[in-house]
Amino acid sequence: MNRIKSDYLVIGSGIAGLSFALKVAEFGTVNIITKSHLDDTNTALAQGGVAAVISAEDDIESHVRDTHVAGAGLCHEDAVNVMVSDASSRIRELLDYGVPFDVTRNGDFDLAREGGHSRFRILHVADETGRSIQEVLIKKVREHPNICIYEDHMAVELISDHHVLNNLQSAFNICFGAYVLDEIKAQVRIFSADYTLLACGGASRVYLHTTNPDVATGDGIAMAYRAGVRIANMEFVQFHPTALYNPGQEPFLISEACRGFGAYLRNGSGERFMEKYDKRLELAPRDIVARAIDAECKSRGEACAYLDMTHLPPQDVLSHFPNIATQCRDQLRIDITSEQIPVVPAAHYICGGIMTNLNGQTSMHNLFAAGETAHTGVHGANRLASNSLLEALVFAHRAARRAIEKKRNIYTNVAIPDWDDTDVTNQQEWRLIRNNRSELQTIMWDYVGIVRSGVHLNRALRRMATLYDEIEDYYKRTRVNKDLLELRNLSAVAYLIVRSALRRSESRGLHNMSDYPEKDDKFLKDTII
């Protein structure tokens, strides 16, 4: 069956997509598509936790202020207020679902503190918070009778008024679902829906070194961009300061919570260096810490910095960070209670994305976005640690509520044409795909990284234009497959990042320009494409 209809279509299976699906499923049928397995997401890799004001020693104003300070003046005030104010309700919801947040011996939540936070407000499940939440949500969606799950299905394009056969003049700028590749059967199917949610996660695989899983190729952002949906602030790419330095291996995230727990950053001579860069030391926001490590390594000619927890009680370190301890032991034979951890920055989070309002609505009718795919305005020029899972929960909830409130799509019976690949071939030029992907990621890492310049960005743009033309030409004459679709999406995301960066001739948050080292209030606005 190549045509599948539902009331709601969810593209993506992280915390935003699954929580949205559970809510709208009480009011209609839901199809969830994910290009890998349900648990292959950025959510599952999130270690630190969820930020929320739930302690009597904390307050809403402090969390709001911390978010704005980290965001360097670009956070949307209304979005931040909504997120922080709604946090406790969403935490109660997770508790009702069965998420086992850590508690102290007296039964209070074992709240952690991370960079940029002025209070202890991070709820966590050891150092695998995201995985614990993901497992609970997956169990609930698998049990729900109104939800159908399609793994190994990758969205190709959004279906809009440009595709419908009867060319409805009144159906302007409306999403009707998506063309979706069934990876097992190698055929494209039509998934139509009254309302579609893009919750496809991040795009940090556009860089050579990243903490993200293989699936984080910016599919939702790229599809929305090609459909003419507004995209914002793609220049703000967060590099996590502390990924495990293990050349030849995929970077493994060393949680921000380690520094919140009391870990120090040291250079190759064993000196703590953060006092040279920020009075908050290791608890400065991520953009500052990442630039400090980058500068320290470059000035000293060292390959990495070191995270030191050897002064902390060993049993407490192991109980709070069991997964990190295991990974360091297995990968580098390091005992984190007695040896320092080599760390380097790696691409981690896209603060920009598909523009939405406070209810997750995009600039296309009946199309919503939530999670890292979306730009709600919360993160500004730099995301505050552990606000990502919270943002996904809050705005997926608001998107679900809005989708439920809206009247049903009156264009449910539009004639959507089958996917047409009659004039393409099934050529498998794997070398072209592999080489182009490697070149794209290398260009982004070398020229569009932690520190940028106009010369490097223009060089990247010229080389991206050539790559883009090659990839589009190959795409138009080749039967679609997952690798090709990911390469095409990465190319679009890279272009958006470079183009956005060139529009911002200042240094703000995650966007650091060597030829424009200061903030400029002229750019105190979103970069919209």
Q: Annotated active-site positions, please?
A: 286
Please tell me the total number of residues recorded for the chain in this structure: 529
| Dihedral-angle region of residue 520 (phi above 0 means left; psi in -120 to 50 means alpha; beta otherwise) | beta
Amino acid letter for position 287: D
Give residues with Cβ within 8 angstroms of 283, minimum separation 6. Answer: 113, 114, 115, 116, 117, 259, 260
The CA distance from 29 to 466, in Å, is: 43
The CA distance from 183 to 23, in Å, is: 28
β-pairing, 153-160 vs 264-266, is unpaired
Give residues with Cβ within 8 angstroms of 527, minimum separation 6. Answer: 232, 233, 234, 235, 352, 500, 503, 504
Residue that is written with structure tokens 């004001």 in the block:
53
Largest CA distance in the chain: 70
Query: DSSP states of 240-299 as a string?
Result: EEEEE--TTS---B--THHHHTT-EEE-TTS-B-GGGT-TTGGGS-HHHHHHHHHHHHHH
Q: What angle do CA 173, 220, 488 make, to 5 degrees?
A: 105
The CA distance from 481 to 491, in Å, is: 16
Residue that is written with structure tokens 């419908």 in the block:
164
Q: Give the pair of three-digit tokens for residue 426.
A: 């099934």
Identify the H or E element spanning 483.
helix 482-503
Amino acid letter for position 505: S
First to last CA, the chain: 37
CB burial of residue 94 (10 Å; 0-12, 13-18, 19+): buried
The CA distance from 508 to 527, in Å, is: 13
Give residues with Cβ within 8 angstroms of 185, minimum separation 6. Answer: none
β-pairing, 367-369 vs 187-198, is parallel
The CA distance from 477 to 475, in Å, is: 6
Give residues with Cβ within 8 angstroms of 172, minimum separation 6. Answer: 161
The CA distance from 262 to 313, in Å, is: 10
β-pairing, 3-11 vs 30-33, is parallel
Crossing angle of helices 129-143/388-405, nearest 10°?
20
